Each structure stands twice: as structure tokens, then as C-alpha cells.
Structure 1
């Protein structure tokens, strides 16, 4: 049974809203839309962005301006806008997202050059450009590229003019359809024996490949809490196997030796780290897990599948689905907008700002309490309660009590969550069920669980003596924290996690989630939970439902946390 998806009737519309929001936000902070103006080219003036164009708007009528507009959108992080200026909008947009995320690019500066002569037979006009990227914590990377611009038609949105001819080499001259670029930040000793668990146990990346990215990030520091040093290698690898093909660039000074003291002490728990890797290894889909110690904020385990891929657990930016209802419930309870035993109902459908929200498989509990609605993950209940909150209430509460969007110092590069203010009732309702504009990852959601249970935000961190930990301005009241524990236990005893976590003894609470991603792609599966002093969050790409996909991983991991 699905635990919290949108109803089938409104999936497509919500998915489209979500996709537009996500595509406009992925990729961190850009340099902005550079003007690329050239005093020797009077025609090189800024043009309207394609994302706002009306039917019949002309494309650029010179190759250089067509290239300039594409580079502007790329620099600004507008993947959809840039893709729309090519002859293959969908592939171009998807490739831009992958390029940016794969290299962890946080800033882009792209400068257009002077076009060359047109190729024979109307083959297009080559336009060179210079790229300058900030690549994760490694530093600055510069390279020269070239676009091929030719006359074409963009369809209903834009009339005939010049378009960038799409090919993977548009992004970098070495790229092809069967390759991708990968960033390897500062690495440690060749034997990989540089990480140690909190108790001193050696954590070799040979035995724990899931820790390779953690090792790389921690080794780029001289002392716990300091900012990462520059350095890393960009490698061309096989898109299918990840096997290295060619070294493309070396950034900064690459570290090649392990620390003289023989290792870096971390907050990781050796047994829980092993349990995390074992639990996630059996999942064939891309997935991630993060776990923290509730009483301290110490990160005790992290795992990504595939192990050598993107560190989704720390750096992912994706919608958490109904797992975010923990924060929503806390906000409503704190404001006195609802009580656990209030009969708020869980109707088949509800309207918010002109949009209809439904529950999966037509579920409804007309006389259901708020506790039951939370346990059964009723979207319609939250949609009906959206009027109880102002547009900025959820955003402010998430930041002030749960630390979301704070300046975290985890020990390596991380994304600390995003919950913006809602501009409409529809978006407010979508945000309340973990869709809309909310962006999280397993680490931030594990922290949400820890905060809910203890009442106090303790910033997740990897070093035992980590400096500069961010502190949330406020703590949850004992009443609200106790109510959240009651709600999360109900999810296990009578709600959507009952089957998945059956048999786990002790103090256990959870919340399931299924996140719409749009574009016809299958939903992502989520589950967050606690057992005793350990909080964990698991995300499975294309997992459909949280209980079915993330649930077994959570149960396997928490089985070792008793």
C-alpha cells in the first residue's frame, strides 16, 4: 500500500510544479547571469529568457548571440532555460543537471568568444567560450570549450533562428555519450587506513568503500572544524561502469600521504557503519543512509549506493515526501492549531488554493484524529490544516527549532536543507507534505528525527572535537517533543511502518514518505526512524513507497542499534 503519495488525479500537475521548482534550484549558488557583452559587437545585447517567452518569440539571429544566451542560462543555473536554446532541450537540460551535480559545482562563469567561419555544407558556426567553475571544496577549474550553433526551429515556443547543436561535448570537449566527469577530492594514503571510529577502530576504505567520500573530505582539513583545503582530480570515467578513462585536470595541491599520526578520529561507530553498508548493499537502486546519535548529534554511520558515487546522504537536494510531516506536525502543535485527539478527519480529497489533494488508493477516515491521520500519512488532513499556518510559519519553525538551512559545520561539504516561505496556499499545502519547494537529504532528515525525539537540535558532525557547530535559536517544548514521539510510535504500531518495522523491540518511532519527482519518473521512497539513542534516514531513488523500499534497509540497520 502506498503511504503518502498524491492521488492519481493530481499527480501530473503537482509533479510539473515540483519539477519546475527543482530544476530552478538544483546546483547551489551561481555567479548569476553574466552579460557577456562585447563593445565590438553592438548586436550582443541581453535578450529575454526563454523560460518566460511567449509563443512566437524569435530566436537569436546571430550565432554569437545564440551562444551568449545559452551560456548566460548555464551560468545562472537555469538548466531548463539553457536546454531550450538547443536543438534537444530535454537531453541538454538533463546533462546540465548531471554535469553540475557530478562535479559538485557551486559557481559558474562562462565567457563567449568570437565565432569562427561557418562549416562547409551549412554545418553550423563554431563559437568558442571560456569556463571557470568552483568545483566543490576542491577549488577553481578553468577550461576552454566550443559550441556549434546552427539555424533551426524550436517548435511552438520560439520561431526560427540560431540554436546550439546539442552534444555532450558542449559541456566539455572531452565528454561523449558514454562518459562522464567525476571529481575526486583530496585523497589519503594508498592503503586507505586513515579513518578511525570514535573508539579508535580502523575504518579502511578498502573494507568500507562507502566511506571513501567521507575520507576525502576529512583529509582535506588540517584540523577539525577548519574549511577544506583546495585540491582534487577531475577524471573522465565510463558512464556505465565508472572505470577511469583519462585524467582531465588537477585542481590545487592533491594530498597523497596519510596524516603522520596514522589516522583521523571520527564520530563514526564501527559496528553501525558496518550495519549501514550491509543494509544498503542489497538495494539495487541508487540509495543513501545517514544516522546520528540523538543525544550528541554525532554522525555514527553513512552509506551511499553505489558506494563510489555522489554523496547523496550529505549533499542530496530532494523532496522528503511525508517524512517532513514531522516538522509540519511540530509547527501545528506548537501553535496550538491542533491536538493529537482532535477529530480533524482524513477525507478522500481536499482543496488548497484551487488544487485538489487526495490520498493514495482513495483512503479516508472521516472521523479520524490528528494522531491517526499522521500515522496513516493523510495528505488531505494537512491540506485542510494549511489555513492554520501563515506562508512563512513552516520555514521559520524549520529553521529556528530544527536547524534547517543553518550554517552547519559537519566536517565535510554538506547541504543543510531548504524550506522557503510559501507564496500561495497550494504551495503551502505541498510544502506541508514534503513536496513543493522543500529540499532535504538523509542527513538533514536524520537530524529532524533526532530533534523531534530529544526536543533539542544538535548539529550533526563527523569530528569528536568539531569546532563551530551551529546552534538553533530555540528548542521544542517538552510537550511538543513528547507529542511527536507519540505520533512516530503510532506510525510503527498502527500506521504505515507497522509491517516494515515489525519485530523491532524497544523504543522505536518512525515516519514513512513517498516523494513525487515529476517527469514521469517513479516516486522516491523514504523512511526515517529512531531506536533508543540512534536516529536514521534512508532514501531510495525510484523506490515507489517508503515502507516497501526504505523500510527493509531501516529495519536491518536499526536491528544493530538495539
Structure 2
């Protein structure tokens, strides 16, 4: 299930179908207008001749696209590449494309252009050892006018070869680099992309990384072989496009819980955009995650968004660690606080003038936190997030993840970070881990397959939470879950419970991103619902669905 992509027909290596592009008018004729390009009086070439400017004419688009496709199909990679804005990159890719993909009898059939974009269908015969099978797909190129010469040219992108290809990706046919896997949950229940669409990319990633560590045998496939990422946590899995011969799946056990996974998927179902994740505080095992849309980007584990007031879990721990406050200590939350020339105000200009820190935490009153900016060093929050909550460390979860970032900031930006704005970035898995650390008092790195499978090094926080801080933090989160901003979502849930809501403001967005992080006994979860409003009302029900299903 992995392979490489390079387009380009090497002379003699491919039996071409002659005349499919050449010898007929591509795109169905002329636009009925003169092919004359718009000329500017002050646009001159080196020899003084006028250089065409302005939008490409339909004829220019048709003629250049026809020449490009004709050269590509005929196996003349150099000629095709010369018609692009990146001839070296295009020539390399085109020259190796058919050879890597094991394509023969390649044909290119153009569709109807839309402005400067020209679609086409690629047809080919895949020929690998004794396997012969047809394959076809659609792609497109966009054309533009070269500023220096005025000539039309193809804007080169790897996706011209196959949709979705990025720089360094390759289309390959051959024996898969890893056998297929039969992924099972912690209880042995099989997890498939058909039953759990939101797991599709993760199952591909698990196969890429761990398929060879199972007892499976690889088959023969056409697949996209992804370029190697600089950060292994961001490595994208190879993608199977066509199975030519089946391999034998190997069983791979995960930490997921099929019941909780179904609950997570049902919780986000029908929402335009939403993500949720759950972990086991006592071990760090990832129990479930889901996204809507299910086939979209995996925000639950790879997203990078301001977490809003859910970050106050970390901030509160830091303030209590430093002895700056305590649940029953007077800690007023004024309407306005000015830091670094920025004037911060609470939602609706509310205030708690004579309240305790517990009251401000449960009501999520911003300025009780921002008011402490004057007492803090620029790196205090960064240290607490990293050294106690494990954020920003290189998590070895077993799948691609973004592990949170809390950068060192100054003045107003540092103050904004205290309430999960500024440069702070998280995703639901990060915040589920934060809730789990609050529940247990100890950071345990999230993971989806056993450490023993590949002996990878788990991230470890420098220290555990101070005992008094751990106890006080749980009391704050319990108060929030029972009588604060999280009470509506957590109503009726028994046991050891705690919660924190969040609403993260985003520029040019009418409503904030809604966040909710909570725990119940040995289960912690977090969710984000972008552009929806208050965290308790919009993200809270997603987290509750998981906590109630346990």
C-alpha cells in the first residue's frame, strides 16, 4: 500500500496510442475571435518588440494545452516540460511517470476548458509482471501568461500527473511496501474505513508504519507514495488507488474502543465542522476520535487552533504552582485590564469584583487570569504547559499528530495566551490530554498502538503536578462541571467529574470556535466546533456523549 508517482513517458518504454491527441482540434474549435493577444504600449521585449499582456485568449489556452498534452502522450517529456513554468521539475516528473506507475498505452483525452483551466482524462494499461488491468482518471492544468515573454504556459503542479499529488509524491505500481492490516480495537473488534470513515486516513497511516510488523503479506497495488516529511509526526500515509492482487492482512491491535468510537462519530455527525477526541488518563491510551466531515482533515489529532478558555486549566495550574492564587483566595475579575497597551474586557463587560479564584474559574472570567500577567515571566506559561502537561513535546502516538504549542510571548500577547488566545495552538487530542492530566495529576503521552510494537520513545513531562495544585485544580473543574459554565453539558453525570469551557475568538469570524474539555472517572475528552459560539452549549454535548457512553 504505497508507491511513487512520476509522470513522464520514457522513449521506448511505453507503447503509446498514436493520434489520440494529435491530429484533431482539442476542446471543440475556436472561440470565434481573433487569436490576437492584448498588447500594451509599454510592454517591450529585449529586442523592442511588444510583449502580449492581459488574460489568455481561448485560442491560446486551447493551442498550448493541446501542444502540452500531445507532447506528453508522445513521450516527449522535454517538449511538454518546455511549455510549463517549471521545465526542470516537469521534465523529471513526466520522464519517470509511466515507468514508475507501470503504465502502457497511455492516452490523454481533453475535456471542455473553463477559462484558463483545462481538464483531461488519462487512460492507461497497468502492466506489472503477469497483471494487466486498465486504469483511468481525470486531472487538469491551469495556464497563464509568462510575464517576461507574454507566451502562454502551463502552470506546473504535481497534480497534473494525478489529483492530490504534492511535491515529492510519486505514483507507483508494484508490491506494496506494507501488507494490508486488520486493525482491531482494544477488545478485538475489527475497525474498518467502511464502518468508521473518519478513521480512513489513520488506518492508512497505521498500515504504512506498522504493516510490516504484523504477520500479513503484501499484495500488488497502484498507490501514491508520499514524500518524506521533515517531521515524522506530520508524515502522511501512502494511499492505495487500485489493488491488482490481494495481500494477506495482518492483525494490528489498537487502543481504540469501538463503542466509544461509534459514540464519537455519532456526536459529530451532521455538523458542518466538528472534532472530538478521548483518552484514558491512567494510561494515555487514545480511546476514540472523530471529525465532521469524516473524509476531511483530521482536526481531532492534527489540528492547530486557539483553544480559548480551555487553556485556563493550564494557566490555573501555573498560577497555583507559583502561589499566586488558590480556589478560595480573593481574586477579583474586573471589567477591564490593560497589559502592554492592550485593553482587555470580559464578555459583555461582565465582572466579579469581590469574587474568589474558584468563582472566576467556574464562570470563565478572563480578567482574573489576565490580571496576573504582571506577576509572570514571559516563559512561565510555556514551561508549565511543557513541563507539567507535556504540550509541545514530540509525542510518539503511532500516527501523525500535532502536539500543541505554547510559544514564549511578551506583554499583551503573553496575556492573551493565558486565556488560550495569542499564539497558543491546540487540537481536541491535546486538550483531552490536558483534561486527563488534570484528572490524574500526571501527564501520560497519548498513544494508539503499544510502545512495545516498535520501542519508540514516549514523551515525558519534566515533573508531575504539585499535590496541592492537583487537588485544587480538580476542585475548580468539578465546580465548573456542577455549577459553572460546564454544568449544562455535564448535568446528570456521576462519579469523578470535571470540566472547562472555551470560546476562541478568530479574526473575520462572526462566532467564536466552541471548545469543551472534561473528564469522568478514567475517561477524558475534548471537542471543538468551529464558528458556533459558546463552548458549553455547542462543544459540550459532544464531550458529554463520550463521557456518558463509558
TM-score, normalization by structure 1: 0.64
1:250–1:473 CA distance, 2 compared to 1 (3 A): closer
Match of residue 398 from structure 2: 411
**Aligned partners of 1:500 and 1:552 also within 8 Å:** yes
The reply on whether 1:280 has 2:268 as its aligned counterpart is: yes
Deviation at 1:222, TM superposition (A): 3.3
Q: Pick from 473, 480, 483: which aligns with 2:469?
A: 480
**Aligned partners of 2:393 and 2:403 also within 8 Å:** yes
Deviation at 1:257, TM superposition (A): 8.2
The 2-side partners of 1:519 and 1:497 are apart by 27
The reply on whether 1:490 has 2:479 as its aligned counterpart is: yes
Deviation at 1:533, TM superposition (A): 0.2
Q: How do 1:306-325 residues align onto structure 2 when only pairs under 5 Å count?
A: 306-325=293-312
Match of residue 263 from structure 1: 251
**Aligned partners of 1:127 and 1:148 also within 8 Å:** no
Deviation at 1:557, TM superposition (A): 1.7
Q: How do 1:448-527 residues align onto structure 2 when only pairs under 5 Å count?
A: 448-466=434-452, 467-468=455-456, 469-520=458-509, 522-527=511-516
Can you list the C-alpha shifts for 1:11-54, whole angstroms capped at 9, x where unaligned?
xxxxxxxxxxxxxxxxxxxxxxxxxxxxxxxxxxxxxxxxxxxx
Deviation at 1:394, TM superposition (A): 0.8
Can you list the C-alpha shifts for 1:38-91, whole angstroms capped at 9, x where unaligned?
xxxxxxxxxxxxxxxxxxxxxxx999xxxxxxxxxxxxxxxxxxxxxxx9xxxx
Match of residue 89 from structure 2: 130
Q: Pick from 332, 339, 347: which aligns with 2:334?
A: 347
1:255–1:198 CA distance, 2 compared to 1 (3 A): farther
Match of residue 207 from structure 1: 195
Match of residue 396 from structure 1: 383
The 1-side partners of 2:170 and 2:242 are apart by 10
The 2-side partners of 1:367 and 1:489 are apart by 21
The reply on whether 1:433 has 2:419 as its aligned counterpart is: yes
**Aligned partners of 1:127 and 1:147 also within 8 Å:** no
1:327–1:549 CA distance, 2 compared to 1 (3 A): same
Match of residue 233 from structure 1: 224
**Aligned partners of 1:129 and 1:145 also within 8 Å:** no
The structure having more radius of gyration, on CA atoms, is 2
The CA RMSD over aligned residues, in Å, is 4.4
Deviation at 1:277, TM superposition (A): 1.2
The 2-side partners of 1:545 and 1:181 are apart by 38
1:431–1:129 CA distance, 2 compared to 1 (3 A): farther
1:195–1:481 CA distance, 2 compared to 1 (3 A): same
Match of residue 445 from structure 1: 431
**Aligned partners of 1:193 and 1:205 also within 8 Å:** no
1:223–1:337 CA distance, 2 compared to 1 (3 A): farther
**Aligned partners of 1:275 and 1:560 also within 8 Å:** yes
SS in 2 for 1:372: helix
**Aligned partners of 2:211 and 2:250 also within 8 Å:** no
Match of residue 528 from structure 2: 539
Can you list the C-alpha shifts for 1:184-227, whole angstroms capped at 9, x where unaligned?
99999xxx98210111112222222222122111111237999x
Of structures 1 and 2, the one with the larger relative CO (CA 8 A, separation 6+) is: 1
**Aligned partners of 2:505 and 2:512 also within 8 Å:** yes
Deviation at 1:180, TM superposition (A): 6.8
1:193–1:185 CA distance, 2 compared to 1 (3 A): farther
- Aligned residue pairs total 407
The 2-side partners of 1:313 and 1:532 are apart by 22
The 2-side partners of 1:397 and 1:312 are apart by 24
**Aligned partners of 1:285 and 1:542 also within 8 Å:** no
The 2-side partners of 1:338 and 1:360 are apart by 22
Q: Which moved more, 1:302-311 or 1:214-223?
A: 214-223
SS in 2 for 1:322: helix
Deviation at 1:464, TM superposition (A): 3.0
Q: Pick from 254, 262, 282: which aligns with 1:295?
A: 282
**Aligned partners of 2:268 and 2:275 also within 8 Å:** yes
**Aligned partners of 1:233 and 1:254 also within 8 Å:** no
The reply on whether 1:554 has 2:513 as its aligned counterpart is: no
Deviation at 1:520, TM superposition (A): 3.5
**Aligned partners of 2:331 and 2:355 also within 8 Å:** yes
Deviation at 1:130, TM superposition (A): 3.3
**Aligned partners of 2:308 and 2:419 also within 8 Å:** yes
**Aligned partners of 2:181 and 2:207 also within 8 Å:** no
